[in-house]
Amino acid sequence: MRLHGLFILAAFAVVGCGGPKLVPVSGKVLHKGSGLTAGGIYLHPASGNLWTGERPSSVLETHGGFDFQTTPHGRGVPVGSWKVTLSPALANRVRRPELADPQKTLWTLEVSESGVKDHIFEVK
């Protein structure tokens, strides 16, 4: 009987655990005024950001659009400061390999409680 009670308590603990609060983050990646496609964009915790889960990411869609997901939690990004990178193949294709390295990228993103909409990253 006692073991059965512990099992029920453990089941409630698992079901009751919610994921992190996520807010929507969307925008575009442009190069010479055109959207970049056939690659990905990633977020990495910046200084002061305590996120330790999977890195938020998005596939770059038609016209360079992105809409971040945080696996396995769903659409959106935890609030905080982030460094932004591109997939290595895409960064190399636009001759900006530093954009694939979280230690070298100059791209950053501040995600507030209201999220981020229509943010533009321009590859120069």
Q: Does 10 fall in a domain?
A: no
Q: What are phi and psi of 88, to 5 degrees?
A: -55, -45
Q: Does 11 fall in a domain?
A: no
The pTM for the full model equals 0.85
Give me the tens of pLDDT residue by residue for the chain, a chain 124 residues long: 455 544 444 444 444 457 899 999 999 999 999 999 999 999 999 999 999 999 999 999 999 999 999 999 999 999 999 999 999 999 999 999 999 999 999 999 999 999 999 999 999 9
Q: Domain range holding 53?
A: 19-123
The count of other CB atoms within 10 Å of the CB of residue 19 is 12
Strands laid side by side in the 69-70 sheet: 74-75, 69-70, 57-59, 40-45, 80-86, 108-111
The SS3 of residue 71 is coil
Q: What is the CATH number of the domain that holds 77?
A: 2.60.40.10
- Residue 19: the pLDDT is 87
Q: Does 86 fall in a domain?
A: yes
Q: Does 9 fall in a domain?
A: no
- Residue 18: the pLDDT is 78
The count of other CB atoms within 10 Å of the CB of residue 45 is 18
3-class SS shares of the chain: helix, strand, coil, % to 5: 25, 35, 40
- How many distinct structural domains can be found in the chain? 1
Place of tokens 């442009």: 30
Q: Does 93 fall in a domain?
A: yes
Contact 67, 118 (CB under 8 A): no
Cα 117 from Cα 124, distance rounded (Å): 21
Beta strands in the chain, from DSSP E residues, in sequence order: 25-31, 34-35, 40-45, 57-59, 65-67, 69-70, 74-75, 80-86, 108-111, 116-123
